[in-house]
Each structure stands twice: as C-alpha cells, then as structure tokens.
Amino acid sequence: MSSETRTEEPETADADADAESAGETQRQPHQERRLERKREQARQRDLTEEARLEVEEADETVSLKVFRYDPEVAGKQEPRFDTFRVPFERGMTVLDALIYARDHFDSSLTFRHSCQQAICGSDAFFVNGRQLLGCQTQISDLDEPIRIEPLPYYDVLKDLVVDLDDFYEEMRSMDPYLQPDDDPPGELAERRQSRQNREDIKMSTRCIWCASCMSSCSIYGQGEEYVGPAAINVAYRFAVDEREPAEVTAERIQRIDEEDGVWRCQTQFSCTEVCPKDIPLTQEIQDMKREAVKRNLKFW
C-alpha cells in the first residue's frame, strides 16, 4: 500500500495574494498619474526648448507682460506680471500670442477664449489700458511691451479670468428675449418685422456680452447699483422691437427709468468707444432717456 502525502496551502496564503493584488490595483492609478505627470513635464520641456529656438530664429518677436494671480497656489497669491517673448507672424492677434505663451512656456497661464472670431465675447482683456477682444486685436497695431490685464471692476479669479456673475445677472434682469402676446398671424411660422424696424435695432442686436463696455464705465465700477450700458442695450433692443406689445415695451422702459437706470449715465462715451461691435451705446441710452421723459409727460 502506498501512502500519499498531500500538502494543503494555508488559507492565509490566498488571502495574502488577494490583498497583494488589491494593493497593486490601488497603486496602479497613482503610478499612472505619476507617470503622466512626468510625461507632461517632459512634453512641456520639449515645447519650451522648441519655443526658445523659434524665438532665437524668428525675424521678429513680440514681448507680452501678462498679469498673473492664483489665490489657490502658495507663492502666486500676490499679483505680478510675467514677461513672455513669442515669435511674431503676420496676422497674429493678442489671443494667438497668449495661446503660444501658454502652450510653450507656462501651461498654468489661464484665460478665456472660444470661437476666436469675435462672436463669443469670451476673450475680452485690458490691453495697453483699453478694453479689447484678444481675437480681434492685431499685435501689429499695439505698442510694445504689450501689457495684458483682466477687465477692470471685476473680481479676478485667476490670471486673466474675472468673475462675471454680476454682469450676467444685470443682463438677465432685462429679460433678454422677445415677449409677444399672441401667435404669429395666419399660418405663419414666424413673426414678421418691417425693414425699417429691423434697421432701428440692428446695431443693438450685435452685442456679444463681452462686458467690455461695463468694464470701461467708471460709474458702473464705483460699486453703485447702476445696471450699466450693456444691460440698457438689451432693454433698448427689445423696447424698440415692434413685435412686442405696448404693455411689455412700457414695462421695459419703466425698468430703466430709474436713478440707477439710464439716469445714472453721465454720457462719458467710454462704453461706445470700447465696444468691439461698434454699438452706439451712448446714443441708445439718450434715446431711452427721451422715451422715458415722453411717457412721463402729462398734459392737462
């Protein structure tokens, strides 16, 4: 008779193996993140070296002095200016230069941008002391060094990004949408508008909500309750629109016929001067003042 000896693996061995496997699984994401950071750092070094060579070989370069501020990072909580020198190309805009600086020198450089066609209004900056759209402003039109700052009168969140919550609140307070009181006549799927009325409101409809005009207005910047030129433009655009009923038009005019509405404007023309869409904001405000006065006149 032969005897067979069977050796049983202790249960603890399986448990230890499972625990080791679980630990390895937990370590993998951490290791992946660490490796990804190393890869990103290596990529950034390559881009920076590439940019350095491009700057050295470029026929022309441009110097940017960019406002920097990051409340969440120690050592960057004190506002400062960083200087970037980027290669210049014909047709380069301020936004192009900022994107180059961010992509090649400092990936933490923060600013808003989207369409790059002067339609979204997201990249309004304070450039050489004037409110301008980054994507619309040619580098060749500016004196160096080009000083780029966030819009004045708004709290800075980080670098060139400002908090626009108050701006959007002012705009929404004007009900920026058409408010007809009935359906289009007959079987029409649209609400017709005369050519002349369309011309009357054409410029006001070009507003892209960039906040440049608000940022240029010292009255708005004083922290008063003034609704600001952009909000009044919204009121004008719909109050003049013939497709709204008279009752709604009267409500819109009444809303800005207040001390903190059109009457707070001191006719400085700064809003009109900086508007990237050439909206005659100061003229619109005066028109709304006259309309408010006419509606308040009583003859007896």
pLDDT digits (tens, 9 = 90+) for 46-102: 666 676 777 677 689 999 999 999 999 988 899 999 999 999 999 999 999 999 999
pLDDT digits (tens, 9 = 90+) for 4-60: 444 455 555 565 556 555 555 555 677 787 777 777 666 666 666 676 777 677 689
Distance CA 137, CA 94 (A): 6
Q: Exposed (0-12), middle (13-18) or buried (19+): which is 170, by Cβ within 10 Å?
A: buried
Domains with residue ranges and CATH for the chain: 61-161 (3.10.20.30), 164-182+194-296 (1.10.1060.10)
Chain-centroid distance of CA 199 in Å reads: 28
Distance CA 162, CA 149 (A): 10
Predicted TM-score of the model (pTM): 0.79
